[in-house]
Homo-oligomer: A and B are copies of this chain.
Amino acid sequence: MGASKLPENQNSPQAPAHGLPFTTDLKRGLYEAIFRRRDIREFLPDPIPDATLARVLIAAHHAASVGFTQPWDFIVIRDLERRRRVHAIFGEEHSKNADEFKNERRAKYLSLKLEGILESPLNVLVTCTPGRSGPAILGKTSIRDVEIYSACLAVENFWLAARAEGLGVGWVSILRTEIFSIPEGTIPLAYLCVGYVRNFPDEPVLATRGWARRIPPRTLLHFDSWQRSDSSGDKLVAAIEDPEIWSEIFPDEDPGER
Copy tally for this chain in the complex stands at 2
Interface string of A51-87 (1 = CB under 8 A from B): 1111101110111101111101111111100100000
Interface of A is mostly: mixed
> A53 to chain B: which residues have CB within 8 Å?
236, 239
CB neighbours of A224 from chain B (8 A): 75-79, 82, 180
**Closest 9 CB pairs between A and B?**
A29-B29, A2-B46, A21-B166, A152-B152, A100-B136, A54-B239, A26-B29, A19-B199, A156-B156
Extra A-B contacts (12), CB below 8 Å, given A31-B55, A54-B239: A19-B199, A19-B200, A21-B165, A22-B166, A25-B29, A34-B62, A67-B206, A75-B223, A100-B135, A112-B138, A141-B173, A142-B174
Can you show 12 pairs from A to B with CB atoms below 8 A apart? A5-B44, A19-B197, A34-B59, A50-B238, A57-B217, A64-B156, A68-B211, A68-B214, A74-B220, A76-B223, A142-B173, A186-B226
Taking beta carbons and an 8 Å cutoff, which residues of A are in contact with B?
1-3, 5-6, 13, 17, 19-22, 25-37, 39, 44-55, 57-59, 61-64, 66-70, 72-79, 82, 93, 96-97, 100-101, 109, 112, 114, 121, 127, 133, 135-136, 138-143, 145-146, 148-149, 152-153, 155-157, 159-161, 163-166, 171, 173-175, 180-183, 186, 189-190, 196-197, 199-200, 204, 206-207, 211-212, 214-215, 217, 220-227, 235-236, 238-240, 242, 244-246, 249, 256, 258
